[in-house]
Amino acid sequence: MSEPAARAGPERDARAPAGAPPRLAVRKTCKLFIGGAFPRSESGRSYPVRAARTGELLAYAAQASRKDARDAVVAARAAFAAWSAATAYNRGQVLYRVAEMIEGRAGQLAEDLAHGEGASGAAARRAVGAVVDRWVWYAGWPDKIAQVAGSANQVAGPFLNLSVPEPAGVVAVVAPGDSSLLGLVSVLAPVIAAGNAAVVVASEARPLPAITLAEALATADVPPGVVNILTGRTAELAPVLAAHFGVDGIDITGVPAPDRAGLERLAAGNVKRVLCAEEDWAAVPGLRRLLAFLEIKTVWHPAGL
């Protein structure tokens, strides 16, 4: 059951500057991000999000249901065709615009990290800077993927044989629970840079950075439905996405180790690509995630025509 929004007495804002008059805390109820809009969960459920160190109530997050997860897949599927057909140069420009929007919300994101993860103010600001750098890094890749993953293959005959990378489709991503922003960006950005559409399950205990990222995405040039972000219980949402026949791949890195085998069995229903690759999120990313959800198509063409 969700905690009631109305509390017994006025709750003072502990984050108000020292010496300032006391203010009544205004706690927002954060919504989902599906199809470029911010709907409430169809179930009407929400759950409290509390500060890591003090236990202070920060906000309420929407608790997505199975239907919300299915709606997010429908939105991603509808957006995939146009996003994957866009030029690689255009996708890179859109991603770079997202980095600009994230930097414009650096203060809010640093506050989300400081309270949600218990980081110091300086550490939170450094983490946001690393997030912007990570997003810019991936923004430079869309028009280079074909050169890295594609090839011209030698054949015996008057033909050209080319291997061309293409996005897999709709990819579900379970974000890391312990790195609610840098880890989230590290698993989301390569998916959409490669031309896929994404359905993301945010960190269950620390969803606020994901919600702020969704607000940045909504004001950037990312087409509606290319990124969909769900908050709620990982154990409830991940199996729905793993079993969904409209999902072409799933990154289960953010799922607790004991639950991964069950998701892999569900994913086998439509032969999804499954990725589980734990890593140091602060390290320079490699190409593993960028290439994980690509299909290699082979094209034959008569030589000289």
pLDDT score recorded for residue 2: 45
pLDDT band at 9 (very low <50, low <70, confident <90, very high): very low
Q: Which residue has the higher pLDDT, 156 or 213?
A: 213
101-105, 111-115, 157-161, 252-256: segment of lowest average pLDDT: 157-161
CA 172 and chain centroid, separation: 9
Average pLDDT over residues 16-23: 67
pLDDT band at 4 (very low <50, low <70, confident <90, very high): very low
36-45, 92-101, 295-304: segment of lowest average pLDDT: 295-304
pLDDT score recorded for residue 53: 87
pLDDT score recorded for residue 278: 85
pLDDT score recorded for residue 103: 95
Residues 6 or more apart whose Cβ sits within 8 Å of residue 305: none
How does DSSP assign the chain, residue by residue? Answer: -PPPSS-SSPPB-TTSPTTSPP-B----EE--BBTTB-PPPTT--EEEEE-TTT--EEEEEE---HHHHHHHHHHHHHHHHHHHHS-HHHHHHHHHHHHHHHHHTHHHHHHHHHHHH---HHHHHHHHHHHHHHHHHHHTSTTTHHHHH-EEE--SSSEEEEEEEEE-SEEEEE--SS-TTHHHHHHHHHHHHTT-EEEEE--SS--HHHHHHHHHHHTTTPPTTSEEEE-S-HHHHHHHHHH-TT--EEE-TTS-HHHHHHHHHHHGGGT-EEE-----TTSPP-SHHHHHTEEEEEEEEETT-
Are the beta carbons of 272 and 248 closer than 8 angstroms? yes
pLDDT score recorded for residue 22: 75
pLDDT score recorded for residue 17: 60
Above 90 in pLDDT, residue 6?
no
Above 80 in pLDDT, residue 127?
yes
pLDDT band at 279 (very low <50, low <70, confident <90, very high): confident
Average pLDDT over residues 29-51: 95
Q: Which residue has the higher pLDDT, 147 or 198?
A: 198
Q: Which residue has the higher pLDDT, 300 or 255?
A: 255
11-25, 155-169, 257-271: segment of lowest average pLDDT: 11-25
pLDDT band at 160 (very low <50, low <70, confident <90, very high): confident
* Summary mean pLDDT of the chain: 91
Fold (CATH) for 66-302: Aldehyde Dehydrogenase; Chain A, domain 1 (3.40.605)
State the Cα torsion 120-121-125-126 to the nearest 10°. Answer: -40
Average pLDDT over residues 152-157: 85
Residues 6 or more apart whose Cβ sits within 8 Å of residue 289: 186, 187, 190, 191, 251, 275, 277
44 Ramachandran zone, left/alpha/beta (phi>0; psi -120 to 50): left
pLDDT score recorded for residue 5: 41
Residue-wise pLDDT tens digits, 205-225: 999 999 999 999 999 999 999
pLDDT band at 187 (very low <50, low <70, confident <90, very high): very high
- Answer whether 0.85 is exceeded by the pTM: yes
Average pLDDT over residues 263-288: 92
pLDDT score recorded for residue 158: 86
Q: Where are the domains of the chain?
A: 66-302
**Percent of the chain residues past pLDDT 90, beyond the cut:** 73
pLDDT score recorded for residue 3: 45
| Rg of the chain over all Cα atoms, to the nearest angstrom | 21
Compute φ and ψ for 73, nearest 5 degrees: -65, -40
